[in-house]
Amino acid sequence: MRFRSLAFLLLLSAAVPPADAQVAVSSAKGEAFGQSVHGLGFSLGFASGAGISYRYHMASKSSVQGVIGVFKPKSTDTFYSFGAEFQQDLTRSGAARFFFAAATSYNYNGTTSNNYTAPFRAGLGLGGEFLMQDAVHISLEGMFTYFSDGTILPLPQMSIHYYFY
């Protein structure tokens, strides 16, 4: 199983094409991008929640993200997810950035009461964002996620965003 996971990660890293732009709107490298960038997409994670995601990457090395999800399949209970995430860039290049992340969310599943015994979650971890094509970026994160029942688990998160330059 570990070999398959490692092979998948190696194939994924080889599939990321080199590119000239990341979340930057100018050729600025280093401490500042020069201007802020807005992104819209989808996020899926235990710490930050699941749903439509809006990311605001400031002109500095910081990003904030909000996640809102409402799912109501016909034959099951309603699922709500409200989350937020903060990212601080550690390093970045023209095609990738690596960051520290902190996230929290509230999750609800039910009709009249919440079926989750641990609806509040918080996480800390590391992540990477990679340019896939033009303004489309994919993020992969590993978070130590705390559940409000006291459970702490290392869990993955991922998101895909389209940035408006």
* Chain mean pLDDT for the chain: 84
Q: What's the chain's Rg over C-alpha atoms? A: 17
Which pLDDT score, from 0 to 100, does residue 103 have?
A: 98
Residue 122 to residue 164: CA distance in whole angstroms: 28
65 near 85, Cβ under 8 Å?
A: yes
pLDDT at 34: 59
What is the pLDDT, as a whole number, of residue 99? 97
Whether 48 has a pLDDT exceeding 50, the answer reads: yes
Residue 82's CB is within 10 A of a number of other CB atoms, namely 17
Q: How large is the average pLDDT for residues 93-110?
A: 93
Least-confidence region, from 6-20, 55-69, 106-120, 145-159 = 6-20
Structural domains in the chain, CATH included, are: 2-164 (2.40.160.20)
Q: What is the pTM of this model?
A: 0.77
